[in-house]
Amino acid sequence: MKTRIHLPLLAIVSMFACSLAYATLIGDTVIVSLQSPLGTSSFSTSMVGQTGTGDQTSLGVPHFIADIEGSMFCVSNTSLVSSVSFSNTGVFNGLVVSGIDETITGFSIVTNLVGWDNSRLTFDANSFSADFRGLSFLPGVETMTTEGLVDLEYAIWCATPVKSPDAGSSAALLAVGLLGLGVISRRLKHCRV
């Protein structure tokens, strides 16, 4: 018996394999603020997400930078000599980002920030907050690579919002999958002897 890969079957598999979609921040005008306690802003600015470094914004402290890259929002300390520390006052002390256009259902966090755990992140449909209370973004470290190049490693924290699935595209994928099952079922009926 000859094995064939059927396009409709691949559509079903891809529907389940591509279930996570990341929210794009390109074109969004987001409000970025440092707050302590939550609701009391010590610094606030707006950013329009764009590709490249054109949207990098200082967060009120030299070398403490916010940047939007596609679907990722990052904060980093680009200083080689100074830390950026958030005191532990017993109340929220951190970052709040609001104005995200797409509905958020989850997050993916990437960081080398010592002491971070995901319980410090809270979010709703169009905003998130990261409690950096008691944490420090240490200064960058220069190391020499074997090729003689200088390698810089900065303290960085990046959040990638996961958006809610688009109902229209999900329905279309489901329809294609069901159609594929129908075609496969029909071909199997014709092959029986």
The predicted-structure confidence for 157-168, as pLDDT tens digits, reads as follows 888 888 766 544
| pLDDT at site 22 | 60
How far apart CA 131 and CA 123 sit, in angstroms, is: 11
Contact, 66 vs 75, CB < 8 A? yes
| pLDDT at site 5 | 47
| pLDDT at site 106 | 87
| pLDDT at site 118 | 93
Tokens of 43: 């610094």
The predicted-structure confidence for 122-157, as pLDDT tens digits, reads as follows 999 899 999 999 999 988 887 776 776 666 777 888
Label residue 5 exposed, middle or buried (CB < 10 Å: 0-12, 13-18, 19+): exposed
| pLDDT at site 82 | 87
Q: What is the pLDDT along the chain (193 residues), one digit of tens a residue?
A: 444 544 444 444 444 434 445 667 778 888 999 998 888 888 888 888 877 666 788 888 888 888 887 788 888 888 888 888 899 988 999 999 999 888 888 888 989 888 999 999 999 989 999 999 999 998 888 777 677 666 677 788 888 888 766 544 455 545 555 555 454 455 445 555 5
How far apart CA 98 and CA 21 sit, in angstroms, is: 19
Q: What are the residues whose beta carbons fall under 8 Å from the beta carbon of 163, sequence distance 6 or more?
A: 21, 22, 23, 102, 103, 104, 105
